Amino acid sequence: MTIQMHTVYHNKTETKLAYVKKKGDISRPMIVFCGGFRSNMQGTKAIFLEEHALQNGYGSLRFDYMGHGGSEGNFEDGTISSWRQDTHTFLNDLTDQREIILVGSSMGGWISLLCAHSLGERLKGLIGISAAPDFTKDLVEDHFSETMRQDLKEKGYVDLPNEYSDEPYIITKALIEDGVSQSILHAPIEIKCPVILLQSKLDTSVPWTKALKIQDQLTSLHVEVVILKDGDHSLSRPQDLELIGHSINRVTISSYI
């Protein structure tokens, strides 16, 4: 595995972002993975997608947003807009103008939906894994106490417990405010390609009904919601990975029907 770096500019500041790209068969789509909040491209799903691409002739691209994994920048300086910009830059600069299958996990599902329209006819399918559009709004409305709201206003951030690490999630005021401008569930989401949304009913981070809300807003005529009765937010078990791979193959076939 060779990790390379690509330059993105945030407010005229140069930031080098880490990525791994595999060309595969250039006549087939490239799978682009958009990871979740504070995740990185070394995770189980990212590695699985690269292996699935190699086995099935797809190209693949996985990367770390600014402040994530092997990329430069401070995590606390990131917003949905800046991570959307990172993704958009990779899609423009490193996908060789090929057809794309976007796979977005959690926050990456939000970013995938934000970037999808710009790809036009190149986008052949989109897979959402516990997709979490507008999660910043949900955080404030459903989880922030009055004390937390006051801390956000006075200190500019709050700490939230992290079930995956001893380090808390740092939620900044900039992230919350920017999330308002990037929210998408209040209007139609203009996507024409096949979409499959995978969601666990036991997900403690994203309610399973979120997938139904996304489905309602998508303009695509081919949207499938798969609700699992077991599993968790990450959907990284062997049977989950198998389902993700099967979903990729299905949207590829559906896009040509």
Residues paired with 32 in a beta bridge: 61, 102
- Give the three-state DSSP class for 91: helix
R_g of the chain computed on alpha carbons: 17
Mutual orientation of helices 44-56 and 238-254 as an angle, nearest 10°?
A: 50
CB environment 111-134: b (16+ within 10 A), e (fewer): bbbbbbeebeeebbbbbbbbbbbb
Confidence of residue 255 (pLDDT cuts 50, 70, 90): low
Which sequence spans correspond to the domains of the chain? 4-134+185-254
pTM: 0.95
Is 93 in the active site?
no
What's the CATH fold of domain 4-134+185-254? Answer: Rossmann fold (3.40.50)
pLDDT of residue 45: 98
The separation between CA 166 and the C-alpha centre of its own chain, rounded to angstroms, equals 23
Catalytic residue among 39, 71, 106, 200: 106
Distance between CA atoms of 18 and 6, rounded to whole angstroms? Answer: 7
Distance between CA atoms of 80 and 162, rounded to whole angstroms? Answer: 19
Confidence of residue 169 (pLDDT cuts 50, 70, 90): confident
Is 106 in the active site?
yes
Give tens-digit pLDDT for 36-73.
999 999 999 999 999 999 999 999 999 999 999 999 99
Give tens-digit pLDDT for 90-141.
999 999 999 999 999 999 999 999 999 999 999 999 999 999 999 999 999 9
Catalytic residue among 233, 240, 247, 255: 233
Is 130 in the active site?
no
On the question of pLDDT at 1 being above 80, the answer is no
Which tokens is 9 given?
């500019």
pLDDT of residue 83: 98
pLDDT of residue 254: 65
Give tens-digit pLDDT for 63-100.
999 999 999 999 999 999 999 999 999 999 999 999 99
Distance between CA atoms of 43 and 30, rounded to whole angstroms? Answer: 19
